[in-house]
Amino acid sequence: MGTLFEQLKNLFDCELYSNAATLANLILAIYETNRAILSPQDHLGTLVYYAESLYHERQFREAETVYRQALQLKRLLTKSKSPNGKPLPPGQLDLQSEVELKYKTAKCLIEIKRYRDAIVLLQTLALKQRTPKVNMLLSKLCHNHGHERSAIGTYKEVLKDCPLAFEAIEGLLALGIKGIEVNSLIVDASLAPQCSDWMSSWIKAHANIQARKYTEAIQTLRSIEATTALRNYHQLLVLIGECYYHNGEYENAYNALKRAHGMNPQSRAGLQILAILMAKKKKISELEKLITPNSSFHNEYSSEVWFVMAQFLYSTGKYDKAIYFVQKACFLKPRNLEALILKAEILLQLKKNQQAIAHLRYAQQFAPYRYEIHKVLVDSYLNMGRLREAQVQALKAVKMIGETARMLVLLARTYMKDRTTRPKAKALFIKALGINENYLPAVYLLAELYQRENDVASSMELLKKHVMLSQNCKLHAMLGDVLVNDKDHSGALEHYTMALNLDPSNRCAMAGLMAMGQSPGNNSTTSNTGAGTSSYLEYMADEGSDVPDTPLEMIEIRTTGPNEMESESDAMWSDVEIEINQ
């Protein structure tokens, strides 16, 4: 049997990290009373093996302390010019180097959310000492915490050594560097035979995405898909789907992201937006399938998975439960935009408007270009009856994003509440349809406005035109209502029936048929296939959150008794129908 240090090295090399941590702790305790058992170099090695083992066991706070002790001892050994031990074989990582120790310490600081300390620590390394992974980590930290000039410099350093580091390319484009300049940094790689047919187009597409030119980005990405060997690349499909989503083309976004998810079901890329689109399309059973009900792996759930659970419960009206899961998503990734937006929407349903606004204002700081943030902010002000503030917010949104059809509709909605400003709303709806004649929210609201003005003919003409262009249950139900008021009962019956054929649970159509004395039949279906998932999610919510409060976690989670839980679980699928805003 060798020395204790040799046994520690053996445990570490065999990746028995919990055992290595225990033995290292024991060796250091003995060393405090008997300094002869370790040479200075072995003492450093023991600290490094201890810190590395704690890191692998995800005990980041304790690992950070031990790494700092190792760094301090490393400096003392360097000053005293102690021997560095045996030289390492070529290609083997030197765990005891200053660069590696500071890198791992920074990783621990990030895990315990001390981001600025991590930046300061990495910046103490001289430029010549910084490896690509150090530069990449420092770039992300600087980018996310407002040090844009530093981030640009370190991203460029990464590309000097690793020209196909896509995160560095995308980071530079996000910070406003022109696509031509980025391309010049990786010209050798982009001209290589295996990259020449797609690399420049890839950079061009990402440049358009960062400039919010989604139509141009979609065209470029579709061209890459059609003409290069990347046609089956999962991330390409995700990018296309996300561009469609940000451009308001939800059907195309759903199709692209559904295809991407089918190719790689385990990937988290695009998962949140796919869940949102499933909720919009009321595909609750498909949304449910995105959830893996296995309580053994709670600790492995990412922010995206918690978000999907929250979206599922939100879509089924379980707001008190949904708030728990979205809180988990926000804690794991504080800048998860979709989670912050969903959290605000849930808070609106819980009548906590001020808290919803606080979350949206925080999201606005780093994503002021997102339509969904502005929309939920406007909804918050409208719910509180603060029309003037809603109008100001909508005007700011139009100025920020531009006069697209949905931005004009968002502004018009704020004018509909007041009789004196309805002519402005009408003009905006007509202008929105001039930009995109198939934008259905503008059709719905303009038809409603015509009815408020008792202009039944214009409302009927508009709805008849669009039911010919789009198979949409809401259009048929609205046209049915107009025809009933116009005493055309046979026409109304036809359109109510068509609405129920498209969506058997459409409440407006069922109410219209019942008002006409007709029975909607057995169109509304209730499914029990999701009872297992429902009870699983509710069980997890009632276990209680282990997430500490932060200034943004202004949530009061209701404690639910076992009897109440049972009744909610039984009723889970009786109220699946819920209105999802366009």
What is the DSSP code string of 88-112? PPTT---TTSHHHHHHHHHHHHHHT
- Tokens standing for residue 321: 């439960």
Q: Which of 263, 313, 264 has the alpha carbon at shortest distance from 288?
A: 313
pLDDT tens sequence across 225-264: 888 888 888 899 999 999 999 988 899 999 999 999 988 8
Ranges 74-78, 152-156, 181-185, most confident: 152-156
Q: Are 568 and 318 in contact (CB under 8 A)?
A: yes
- Tokens standing for residue 421: 């400003």
> pTM for the full model?
0.77
| pLDDT band with cut points at 50, 70 and 90 for residue 565 | very low
Q: Whole-angstrom Cα distance, residue 433 to residue 250?
A: 17
Average pLDDT over residues 189-202: 82
Q: Whole-angstrom Cα distance, residue 571 to residue 185?
A: 59
pLDDT tens sequence across 567-577: 333 333 333 33
CA angle 495, 496, 498 (to 5 degrees): 60
- Secondary structure string (H, E, C) spanning 435-492: HCCCCHHHHHHHHHHHHHCCCHHHHHHHHHHHHHHCCCHHHHHHHHHHHHHCCCHHHH
Domain architecture of the chain: domains with CATH: 201-261 (1.25.40), 351-449 (1.25.40.10), 454-519 (1.25.40.10)
- Tokens standing for residue 31: 């060393």
| pLDDT band with cut points at 50, 70 and 90 for residue 509 | confident
More confident of the two residues 363 and 548 = 363
Sequence-distant (6+) residues with CB within 8 A of 26 are: 4
pLDDT tens sequence across 312-370: 999 999 999 999 999 999 988 888 999 999 999 999 999 888 899 999 999 988 888 89
